Each structure stands twice: as structure tokens, then as C-alpha cells.
Chains A and B, each alone.
Chain A
Amino acid sequence: MPVLERLLQRRLIVVTGKGGVGKSAMTSVLGRSLARRGRRALVLEVDPRENLHQMLGVAPSGGAIVEVEPNFYLQNLKPRHVVDWVVEKQVRIKMIAKRVMRSPIYHRFVEGAPGLTEIAILGHALRLARGELSGTPDIDVVVLDAPATGHGVYLLTAPRLFAEAIGDGPFAQLAGEVADYVADPVASGVVVVTQAEEMPVQEALELRRALAERFGREPELLIANGLYPPAPEGDGEDELTALWRRRYQLNASQLERLDRQWAGPRIDLPLLPIDGGAELVAALGDRFDSALTNLEEA
């Protein structure tokens, strides 16, 4: 099945990659592209220091769902709120629930308990896509800008670990549901963003291996971002041209490395003379869209 068709089927797409490769811009680009192809898409950000709204040229979310354009939404999520929601549901006496949530022990637990944040993030995405949250617009697909901490694969494996290590209770149940969802190759997918440099490529390849080992699947798509243009040939050797040529060659050799190790679909995007923000997302978005259409035809 062509990449585009697969992406249009997914209910959850996790965008991951090493810090600093342009993951947020690519999350925006992918969400925009899917929305313009008729999917009701929501891009979900978890970083408490909001950033995605600038990429999309809208007001900060502050936790609320913000409409970017028709069928295209943005939300900044505080995982704490999701955990609070589970507590409120389980501890039915409101006053006691409030007291629990104010207690420092609870705070430590929510911040420190391993796997809980990941379950909260994915659980929220799951409920959004299933229409289980009241007062939210209908959403077909959630595109998640995965936190850059460590290897993105922990986000995906934590629910299973948690469910297996814990066994009972509402969080374990949610963890189990989320784990099934993440393992379902039709419902969810992973898009890996990289730059054609050694460390980001290293991390992209490690992520791919981890996905194969833990889930028996491949990323839907790999995006190589921020590529230098080809340097002019034989035009003398001023310093800049030499630097330009070396950076271009470095990109080329890392793209070759990707080619050798992964035959799956890849979209290459150039480094553009545009500061971040909506203008950059629009320019990269147009290139991404036509590349995606061409991948479909290939």
C-alpha cells in the first residue's frame, strides 16, 4: 500500500527523532498535509514551553484545543491533567479527590512514577481519536510531537512495560489499552525525522531497529530535513564554496548510509532561508505535499 494511503488510515501518528532536527516543524507539516487531504487532524504537543503554535501562526493553546484552519487543530497537553482526570473518575468524592491532588505525595508520584507520563500522553491521544472526550471536535488523526528526551521508543514501549509490571488497577488497564493501540499497525504509526548528519541518523536507525524488535514493524516514513543544496562544481576554491561542498558531501554520505540500511519511503527537505514559524511550515509543507503525492505514484 502506498505511504499516503497508509498515513491517511492512521488514527495516531507519533513523530519522533533526535532533539534539534526540526521535529516540531515536521509535526506541523504532516498535520497540515493530512488535514488538507480531508482528515480531521490534531497536532499534540507535550513540551510545557509551548512552541508549536508559533509554527502554525496561532495563539498558544494553554491546554485548550485551538483551531488552526478548518479540520486542523492544535493542543498543548499537560500530562498531569490526564492523570488528574483518572483520579477524579476513580475517587468519586470530589472533595477527597481534590485533597489527594493537592498533596505533595501525589505530585511526587505523578512526576516520578515511571511510565505514567507516557501512558497519560498516549491515553489522551487514544481518547481524542476515539471521540471519548466530551466537548472536543471530531478528530480522525492525532499527530504527536514526541518529547525529545532519550530515545523516542520509550514512549511507545512504556505502556506495555507498565501493564506487564503492574497487572491491575485503572492505570494498568489504560496502559494495556494504549499498548494494544500502539501495537496495532493500522491504528497507529511512527514517522521518523532526521537530519543527514551522523548523530541524528544514528538515532533514527536505532529507533528503527527498536521498532522492529519490539513491535515487528517499520516507520511509515522517514523525513530527512535541513539538507544543504548541491555546491557549484569547479568554480574555484574560495573558503565558502569549500565549506559548502563539505557540508553537502556530509549530507550525501549520510543519506547513502540511510539508503544502505533502510529501503522504506523517505522524503528529503531542503534547508530554506526562512526563520521558523508559519512561513517555514508553509514552504516546507508545499514541498512535503508534492513529495508525498509522488511517493504514492512511485
Chain B
Amino acid sequence: MDLGSRLTVVVGSGGVGKTTLAAALGLRSAAAGVNTLVMTFDPSRRLKDALGIGNAEGNAELAVSGTGGCLHASLLDARATFDDLVARYAEDDETRRRILGNSYYRHLAGHLGGILEYMAVERLFEVASSGRYDRIILDTPPTTQAIDFLEAPTRIVDFLDSGALKIALAPWFDAEGGLRATSRLGFVGRGLEQFLDRVVGMQLLRDMSEFFRAFGPLFGGFRDRASETESLLAGEETRFVLVTGAGEARIPDTLFFARKLEEAGYRLGPVVVNRVHPNVAGSVSGDKNSAGQRLFRWLGDRDQRGLVALRELLKSEQSLVAMPLAGDEPTDLGSLDALGQELERRWVDEALRSS
């Protein structure tokens, strides 16, 4: 298996089983004696229990027992990362208090476009540069299009460069809290002022301005780390694993995703089609014409058609791994490891085929 990478990023739409597969990969990596960290978002109760991290809080890296200390797991907590950043980079206690108490920060900053995704990247970078692990397996957050996650660092840098920050950091208010004359912004600027004043509302502007001013020193660091993280994601030692659901209906999404990754210059490992229904032609006992049997035949055919079509649409050198639908989701380390072995075996077979 091409787990030679130091960073494996598991991507795909919500609900396809990314988190479970990421954990299974982590177990296999640890079984090979590699000191591994699995970073994950929002795992199910059962998966948390299986990994023994049921009570983990805010970014703690916990050892998974039974792996000889080779596997650690960490739940990403974006809010905690954000608060940590504030605590770490605020110039003094007063600044820290001002940010944490700012109503914009408390209520809305957590929803600032892309900020949570960005915080995940921030955290990834911190762990990757700590040298605590030889391999990191990153499960990406459940966004509609997980590509958002990868674009977060670039978006933040764009934001910093767009002039929006300059506007936000401008001394908008005089000592009395009134809006200063800003005619120097010129014609468009006057429109913007009208926009800011009449449309956005002064209170928001005041809060945002205070927030960004207090955050000013942090943003320089954001820019540096955003470009370093970008190099980490696009680096030689990083592989992406794209997980998708079975069936033809999923194909457009999968192709879109694969193309986006390629365009961004990332290295795509296998595309994993997860939970493929078995091909059942003639292998079933009981009434072959019952509604249930017809359904399963249809599901098997549908998933098979999907695989064939996807194979044709992907580049021939792109590896494609089909994982069968299991009776149960893994409930303990044993079944999680079995899933990992199955994935490993199919991954190797596919690598042999495509080489």
C-alpha cells in the first residue's frame, strides 16, 4: 500500500464513510510500526468508543490502546483552536480579553466564511511541524464540498490581500465612536461608505473593526502559515484518498472532486468507492421474485454499472478501489483493523493492476 506518505488526507462528500476509513488506515499504519496520528472530525459514538477516545476534549491527542503506543487519535475542535490562537498571539491580557469578549467574535466569528476549515488547517500545520508523528492521517470536515477545506488557506490569504482587511483596519471611528470622514477612498469609497453605513449597519462595522484590529498581529502569521500549509498539502509526501459512495448518481461529484484535486496540484492516491452492494446474480436462496430480492439485484447491478462507468471516465493510471458494503459498521479495534486489511489488500491489488 502506498502509505509511504507522511500525510494522508481523506476527502469526499458527507456521509460516505470517510472517518471510519481514516481510522482503519491509521490502525494499519500503526500495525506497521509507524508512529501515527489520526485527526478526525465528528466521529460516531461507536467509532470513538472503538478507538477509546470517547471522552476526548478539545484537540487532545490520545493514545489508542492495543497499538503499542503507535497510534494516537485527536478530535479536531475548531473553536478551541481559534481560542488557543487568540490566547497565544494576543499582545497582552487586555487585547485577549477584548477579542474574547467582543460580541462579533463570540457570536459570529466562528461562522466567518471558511474560518473553521482554516482552523483545521492551522491545527494540522501545528501538529505536522511538531515532529511528534511520522505519519498523519487527516479526516476532512463534513462540508458540502470538502474541497472548501483545502481552499481555506488560499481564501484567507486572498482575503488578507484583497484590501478588505485594510478597510477593516482603517481608523473608521474617532474617539467618540463616530464615523470619520473617509473621503480619501474616492468615488467608489463613498459608495462603500454608504453601503457600510446604511446596509451593513454601524454596530457591525464597529465590532468588526475592533475585532480585526485586535486580530491584526495574528493575520501576519496566518499568511505565512497558510502558504506553508499549502506547500505541505501539495508536497511530495502527501497523498489524497478520495472516498465516494457507490452508484452512477455519485459519479459527477467524484469526477468533479478528482479534477479539482488535480488542478490544485495535489497527489491523488486511490479513489475508494465505499459500500458497494454485492453482485448477486443467481447466488440467493429463497423467492427470487420477492421485492427484496429484486431490490438487491438492482442495487448490485447499479453499483457495478457505477464502477464500470467510473473506471472508464477516470484516467487509466488512476487507481480505483471498491470496498464492499459490510453488514455492520466496525464496533471495536478488531473489526476496524479487519476493514483496514481489506482496504490494504484491495489497494495493493489495484496498484499491481494499474502498474
Chain A residues proximal to chain B, CB less than 8 Å: 18-21, 47, 86-87, 90-91, 93, 96-97, 99-100, 103-106, 108-109, 111-115, 147-150, 154, 158, 161-162, 164-172, 197-200, 202, 228-232, 235-236, 238-247, 250, 271-273, 275-276
Contact A19 B111 (CB under 8 A): no
Chain A residue with minimal CB distance to B159?
Answer: A108
Chain B residue with minimal CB distance to A105?
Answer: B164
Q: Mark B29-71, 1 if CB is under 8 A from A, else 0.
A: 0000000000000001110000000000000000000000000
Contact A87 B204 (CB under 8 A): no
Contact A20 B112 (CB under 8 A): no
Interfacial chain A residues near B163, Cβ < 8 Å: 104-105
Contact A106 B195 (CB under 8 A): yes
Interfacial chain B residues near A164, Cβ < 8 Å: 107
* Closest chain A CB from B144 CB (angstroms): 5
Docked CA distance A89–B191 (Å): 13
Q: Mark B259-275, 1 if CB is under 8 A from A, else 0.
A: 00000000000000000
Contact B144 A47 (CB under 8 A): yes
* Closest chain B CB from A59 CB (angstroms): 18
Interfacial chain B residues near A171, Cβ < 8 Å: 199-201, 204
Given A231-B292, A275-B248, answer yes or no on A170-B159 (Cβ-Cβ < 8 Å).
no
Chain A residue with minimal CB distance to B252?
Answer: A49
Contact A96 B191 (CB under 8 A): yes
Q: Mark B284-316, 1 if CB is under 8 A from A, else 0.
A: 111100111011101100100000000000000
Contact B192 A154 (CB under 8 A): no
Contact B199 A91 (CB under 8 A): yes
Q: Any chain A CB within 8 A of the CB of B355? A: no
**24 A–B contacts, CB within 8 A, in A order:** A20-B15, A90-B195, A105-B163, A108-B159, A108-B162, A113-B112, A114-B112, A115-B111, A164-B107, A166-B207, A167-B201, A170-B198, A172-B201, A198-B44, A198-B45, A198-B46, A228-B292, A229-B295, A232-B290, A238-B283, A240-B296, A244-B296, A250-B328, A273-B295
Docked CA distance A97–B198 (Å): 12
Most buried by A among B13, B113, B187, B245: B113
Chain B residue with minimal CB distance to A246?
Answer: B327
Q: Which listed residue, B44, B280, B291, touches A202 by the CB 8 Å rule?
A: B44
Q: Any chain A CB within 8 A of the CB of B235? A: no
Interfacial chain B residues near A245, Cβ < 8 Å: 327
Q: Mark B156-179, 1 if CB is under 8 A from A, else 0.
A: 001100111001000000000000
Contact B108 A20 (CB under 8 A): no
Q: Is the interface of B mostly helix, strand, loop or mixed?
A: helix
Interfacial chain A residues near B296, Cβ < 8 Å: 240, 244
Docked CA distance A108–B200 (Å): 13
Q: Any chain A CB within 8 A of the CB of B103? A: yes
Q: Which listed residue, A91, A148, A162, A200, touches B195 by the CB 8 Å rule?
A: A91
Q: Any chain A CB within 8 A of the CB of B87? A: no
Docked CA distance A93–B191 (Å): 9
Q: Which listed residue, B45, B144, B329, touches A149 by the CB 8 Å rule?
A: B144
Contact B191 A241 (CB under 8 A): no
* Closest chain A CB from B268 CB (angstroms): 21
* Closest chain A CB from B322 CB (angstroms): 15
B335-354 interface with A by 8 A CB criterion: none
Docked CA distance A197–B299 (Å): 18
Given A167-B203, A169-B199, A246-B327, answer yes or no on A20-B192 (Cβ-Cβ < 8 Å).
no
Interfacial chain A residues near B158, Cβ < 8 Å: 108
Docked CA distance A230–B114 (Å): 43
Interfacial chain B residues near A239, Cβ < 8 Å: 278, 283
